[in-house]
Amino acid sequence: MKPEFHEAHSGQLDPLDGRVGEFDWEAIECALGEQCPDLTERDYAAMGIALRRVFQWMVTVGPCEPKKMAEIIGRRTLALAWVMDPSIIEGSPSLSSLAKRIGTSKAVLSLSSSKASKVFGISNRAQSHAWNRKARMHTHGGKVQ
């Protein structure tokens, strides 16, 4: 049965707009990575420490010529983004496609992505089939593939 139309509707609120209902929009926004008002100074300090560690890894390349340094930092940045979530990069490319897009080999980019996985203890679904991948242990004692 079709809902009846109310002529006296104020027009200020759209009856089909889900935001007028009882729903915890703040929780959804926090879960999606929006700014969470209930984060503490300690939370922000921990995020700052983690972000510093990420940048430190990306820019610590050792002695080399400046042009190579920029290439290495760029590769590490893309490799880490790909390891975290390939959809961060336009088109959600495979590692091979990404390597081709930036003009390097899959082997070279694979070195950076495997280092990122090892340093930060993260990996994505596309890395699960690697022949040299070692299972990580959960705190519960079970293995993660």
**Number of domains forming the structure of the chain:** 1
Whole-number pLDDT of residue 24: 74
pLDDT of residue 89: 94
pLDDT, tens digit only, all 145 positions of the chain: 666 766 665 556 565 655 555 667 777 777 777 766 677 889 889 999 999 999 999 999 889 998 899 999 999 999 999 999 999 999 999 999 999 999 999 999 999 999 999 999 998 888 765 555 555 533 344 454 4
pTM attached to this predicted model: 0.63
Rg of the Cα atoms in the chain:
23
Q: How many CA atoms lie within 13 A of 31 on its CB side?
A: 5
| 60 in a structural domain | yes
Phi-psi region of 43 (alpha: psi -120 to 50; beta: other; left: phi over 0): alpha
Residue 5, in any domain of the structure: no
Q: Is 18 domain-assigned? A: no
- pLDDT computed for residue 56 by the predictor: 96
Structure confidence at residue 138 (pLDDT): 37
Tell me whether residue 19 is in a domain.
Answer: no
Task: Let me know if residue 129 belongs to a domain.
Answer: yes
Neighbours of 137 (CB within 10 A): 10
Q: Is 30 part of any domain?
A: no
23 belongs to a structural domain: no
Q: Which domain holds residue 85?
A: 41-144
Asked if residue 24 is part of any domain, the answer here is no
